[in-house]
Chain A
Amino acid sequence: MNFLRHIIIIFGGAIFGLGLAYSGAAVPEVVLSFLRLEDFGLALVIGGALLVTLLTFQFLPKVINTPLLGGSFTRPAKLPISKWNIMGASIFGVGWGLTGLCPGTSFAAVGMGNWPVLAGIIGMFIGALLYGMLRNKGLKGIE
């Protein structure tokens, strides 16, 4: 992937991160107020983002054949619904419910000067390391 593509992804990622920060989704307390059913704003954040991406992913490849920088439109491999979705999403849900942290919002939070969230990001890297080591030991999974 060439230099220009990295610049584009950093720029798009910055819009993504600015949106997380501006909406409050990158503030753990705001996420927890949603999960405690005190403020339903996070549903609007997910809904707004989903509306834009749904229209883009579904219709753009019908309008232009290739991305503007060349290459092709990728889509993640189709994954079957499995117990791993349920188990993984449940384990994630416990961590999310305890802290209000998810991967994208945590990186944006660090940019907002929320330094304690770095401890959460370190935890995420170590958690993924543990999961990968289990896969190396023969644990089954979906990717």
Chain B
Amino acid sequence: METLFPLGIEQYVVGGLLVGAGIAFIYVMTGVVAGVSTVFTSTWSFVFADPTSFFRRDKFIASRKWRLSLVAGLVLGGFVYLFLFNDGNATVTSLPVLQLFAGGLLVGIGTRMAAGCPSGHGITGNAMLEKSSLVSTITFLAVGIIVALITQNVL
């Protein structure tokens, strides 16, 4: 066990159950399935006025406001952790900003092309028993592991 989980398992299990509880709570109360990555597309509908634009499809217009509330909640949750569990000590990554930006660019393109990310496909899509979500999840896990293993001694 200690070789698979060198930091123990308590934080992983509790955190994962909390993630599920947040998504389940939103579903019980509102019926909304809370995937995250669509916000990167739907928010652009506030900028582009052309009604034929991809960004103004009905599904993006209809959900664009609550998606912003969802990401506000995600930031708030991290903020609550910062003060309740980490004594106000910020967790700052040592990865270079340019690397984060470049990776983010690929995350933005890829999640929108696949219509989902680890929350939309990996959690909610799989929980809906969607076959396309299972295929996406297996694909990004496999590619992510290969890329992380190849680059670990380079970056």
Task: Tell whether A pairs with B.
Answer: yes
Binding site for B on A (CB under 8 A): 1, 5-6, 8-29, 32, 35-42, 44-54, 56-58, 60, 66-69, 71-82, 84-117, 119-133, 135-136, 141-143
Distance, CA A58 to CA B128, complexed state (A): 7
Contacts known (A131-B112, A132-B55); A12 close to B104, Cβ less than 8 A: no
Contact A113 B31 (CB under 8 A): no
Contacts known (A22-B11, A88-B112); A49 close to B123, Cβ less than 8 A: yes
Smallest CB separation, A60 vs chain B (Å): 6
Q: Count of chain B residues with Cβ under 8 Å from any Cβ of A?
A: 119
Smallest CB separation, A13 vs chain B (Å): 2
4 new A-B contacts at CB < 8 Å, known A17-B80, A23-B11, A90-B110: A6-B65, A9-B66, A17-B76, A131-B41
B71's nearest neighbour on chain A, judged by CB, is A107
Residues of B within 8 A of A35 (CB): 144-145, 147-149
Contact A113 B139 (CB under 8 A): no
Smallest CB separation, B127 vs chain A (Å): 4
Distance, CA A48 to CA B99, complexed state (A): 30
Smallest CB separation, B29 vs chain A (Å): 5
Distance, CA A95 to CA B27, complexed state (A): 29
Contact A108 B66 (CB under 8 A): no
Residues of A within 8 A of B69 (CB): 6, 9-10, 13
Residues of A within 8 A of B72 (CB): 10, 13
Contact A95 B97 (CB under 8 A): no
Residues of A within 8 A of B127 (CB): 50, 53-54, 56-58
A45's nearest neighbour on chain B, judged by CB, is B16
Q: Does B49 contact A (CB under 8 A)?
A: no
Residues of B within 8 A of A39 (CB): 4-7
Contacts known (A66-B31, A117-B93); A41 close to B9, Cβ less than 8 A: yes
B103's nearest neighbour on chain A, judged by CB, is A99
Residues of B within 8 A of A58 (CB): 127, 129
Contact B18 A84 (CB under 8 A): no
Contact B131 A95 (CB under 8 A): no
Residue of B5, B43, B104 contacting most chain A CB atoms (<10 Å): B104
